[in-house]
Chains A and B, each alone.
Chain A
């Protein structure tokens, strides 16, 4: 029988938490949604859902999210993903791993696809963020969204926001020239339901409309 003490930190090796350092990270922040353009995406109960700002080390972050200005007093630990989901109630963007390994959290930042779980909100200060909620034009679906429905490019839907955001970006990047190219450039997005062949079909179909 041995007796020893160990840290309870789950997982092994370096974590983002360790890299950030705890001393600077103990803070709670608050989100302030700009009142100049209260949109449907920001439900009226937003304010109630956000805990009061009690911490230190809060940072000011200004973003444009789906074309709406957002001003945040942010905990420096907030990822862009958790900021969208927990502070701005934009829950269309999903957390599949929180480690940059699955692609479920893919959004566009200044027109490029990024993994929002690997992006700190503070580091996105000043950028234009586009999420799945900002893709359709009112009731008119983006061609990629329509193509995913038409070709059954999803089953459970948990990876779908990320797949669609990646797919839109890869067409813009000019990486939809062949099936193999689509497969390669969509391989950062895991679909455990394995809709892969239908995702390829959807991207091909949408890329024709998008051109």
Chain B
């Protein structure tokens, strides 16, 4: 009897039953007895200081236990712990942005805390006008990417062909040029689970229930800010209700919750309101960017130029580097980019699903569409004509790249040949119909990772790593890879993650979880088999005692030697061991310095724009990807579709407009539009099957963010094809289309 490997098959999520029955406990669902409830007080000015706070009424309100403020601060440390924001709350009277945390009310019930928070009276000194406009403050400063904790390729670079004096010369000497400037206001993650923290201290040790994209990284940062050793903070995060980059770092709401629980000697629960999450838990920054392309008459690129000015909040936390795609997508002899940051007095920014590549690809891939129009070359042909086989910046070849096949297969599935190159010529009743395409690309990264595989005497196997499942399917991935590596049935494997006490795992950022963790699980499985065999030959109670370990073979959950076959459970029971296990750590090698490594996508989109109202609707979408070997077809399809829909939201709906006073105007789910079911047509996805064995032996690259990259450009290019109107300021809304 042979166990079929689950790798690449359509596998249901192993935690599916818990999620459809309501049994899955997210942070705010955890049962902790004796807890008090916190509610945050926020500043109502954008820049200045607090001259006084009257908390007497709040303190006197029923059920109130404590009111913390800059005048009654919590003990936190500003210099330790890599938490999200560059300041620590309640330590000084400064107001840095509108909506900053300036107080915390703790009460016996949620309702009491919330209502008492409204009773706090604050007097401010406004000090000047907050800086809120990227355009007004541009050009910003080029910050070396490694200077801000993001080591990697430079923030600014120029590559010139021999004999070319400057990038301006290269552009001037090109037969055809395109120059376009793009703008977008902030966008928000809007994970359906708002940030929630339950903090409980016992004997100087903190257990914190929170949705964390990296439980161990979260524990370390929190411990630093609280001034305790990392091993005193235990992060429990078995389920995360969506992250999209917004639940990686420790935000200040979690810091004050943990500090208040310590101060009160009592568990505290704090769930930010949806409106607070929009302000306090990060946003995709406002961004202005310009792309210039120089090409021959038939569209062959001679120069690619991309400069960006991105909002950087005065409180952090990450630089925006949108030229990530520009530096490598097309073959060009001359390349220039400069990614600048503009400091503004706005709420914190953070990484949001393909934080750099998503806005960057919108600009580059829209500009490429403009070049197609200007040269009269079909957009798909234009891309194949400029296809890169080595990175134009570094000269390295790709570990595995089949984007050309993605283009061709996608065009075929979508029916790209039926596209009319002349905008506004396909009409269906009151709808103008258009088609657009674009490319997507996302760097594939592996990081050191550990995993544990354990055989148990009840016949089950557990696989564990301190990673996190945000809905990505990471739990199922662990189980699939362990079942495959051990040749056992998926049903016998249970996966553990979302706990900082497990073997070191990579955080769920940059789509690195699968690529990094699969090799670790495979290595742990191999080591666990070795440990099992060692036990079998060494333990006196084992039927294989005294045999040479090379004569004992493991196959599909059984040990065999001399015609005798024993299951691992039988062996463990015979020797009286509850389990045998191994922990393994793996890391990428020298290949990372020799190859470029990326995942790729080709997007094709059909839109319908109402002739009378200007309303744009996506009516069809096809995406074909090259992501290496696929672990779980079902989870992959969901991730691809989810990413495309994120891109549709990015293109057509999402904006949190900045008001002059520093208020983010659309901070609710009524005012900030995300796609709903009626906005989304059937979506066709397809993946090529080329395991990337340079990247790892298993050959699986990450893909969680990939399809958000370029999908918004495909929508915008289709809108142009439908209407002849080019919108460069996102989102593309109907008011911009009724010219």
Tell me the A residues contacting B by CB distance below 8 Å.
1-11, 17, 22, 25-28, 43, 45, 48-49, 51, 54-55, 75, 77-78, 82, 85-86, 89-99, 101-102, 104, 131-133, 135-136, 141, 145-146, 148-150, 152, 154-161, 164, 179-180, 182-184, 186-200
Select B127's contact among A1, A51, A94, A156, beta carbons within 8 Å: A1
- Chain A residues with CB under 8 A of B13: 149, 152
- Chain A residues with CB under 8 A of B44: 6-8
Q: Closest Cβ of chain A: how far from B251's Cβ, in Å?
A: 16
Q: Are A156 and B273 in contact (CB under 8 A)?
A: no
- Chain B residues with CB under 8 A of A141: 17, 20-21
**B408 contacts A by Cβ under 8 Å:** no
Interface residues on B, range: 35 or more
Report Cα–Cα, A180/B34, bound state, in Å: 48
Q: Are B242 and A192 in contact (CB under 8 A)?
A: yes
8 closest pairs, A vs B, by CB? A92-B22, A156-B471, A158-B241, A155-B471, A157-B19, A194-B645, A91-B29, A158-B192
- Chain B residues with CB under 8 A of A197: 641, 680, 682-683
Q: Closest Cβ of chain A: how far from B328's Cβ, in Å?
A: 27
* 19 A–B contacts, CB within 8 A, in A order: A1-B125, A10-B40, A11-B668, A26-B62, A48-B34, A55-B63, A77-B115, A86-B109, A93-B22, A152-B637, A155-B473, A156-B241, A157-B24, A157-B26, A159-B192, A183-B677, A183-B680, A189-B677, A193-B642
Report Cα–Cα, A154/B634, bound state, in Å: 11
- Chain A residues with CB under 8 A of B275: 10-11
Q: A197-B680, A197-B683 are in contact. Are A7 and B118 (CB under 8 A)?
A: yes
- Chain B residues with CB under 8 A of A4: 123-124
- Chain A residues with CB under 8 A of B17: 141, 149
Report Cα–Cα, A127/B193, bound state, in Å: 28
**B678 contacts A by Cβ under 8 Å:** yes
Q: Are A152 and B634 in contact (CB under 8 A)?
A: yes
Report Cα–Cα, A182/B676, bound state, in Å: 12
Q: Are A149 and B12 in contact (CB under 8 A)?
A: yes
Q: Closest Cβ of chain A: how far from B504's Cβ, in Å?
A: 23
- Chain A residues with CB under 8 A of B16: 148-149, 154
Tell me the B residues contacting A by CB distance below 8 Å.
12-13, 15-26, 28-29, 31, 33-35, 40-42, 44-45, 48, 51, 61-63, 99, 102-103, 108-112, 114-115, 117-118, 120-127, 189-194, 239-244, 271, 273-276, 470-473, 634-635, 637-639, 641-642, 644-646, 668-670, 674-680, 682-683
Q: Are A96 and B194 in contact (CB under 8 A)?
A: yes
- Chain A residues with CB under 8 A of B243: 156
- Chain A residues with CB under 8 A of B125: 1-3
Report Cα–Cα, A183/B617, bound state, in Å: 14
Q: Are A101 and B274 in contact (CB under 8 A)?
A: yes
Select B669's contact among A43, A96, A179, beta carbons within 8 Å: A96
Report Cα–Cα, A156/B642, bound state, in Å: 11
Q: Closest Cβ of chain A: how far from B491's Cβ, in Å?
A: 15
Residue on B nearest A179 in the bound complex, by CB: B682
Residue on B nearest A156 in the bound complex, by CB: B471
Residue on A nearest B638 in the bound complex, by CB: A152
Residue on A nearest B16 in the bound complex, by CB: A149
Report Cα–Cα, A164/B677, bound state, in Å: 14
Q: Closest Cβ of chain A: how far from B77's Cβ, in Å?
A: 26
Q: Closest Cβ of chain B: how far from A76's Cβ, in Å?
A: 9
- Chain A residues with CB under 8 A of B28: 85, 91, 95
Q: Are A55 and B62 in contact (CB under 8 A)?
A: yes
- Chain A residues with CB under 8 A of B111: 25, 75, 77-78, 82
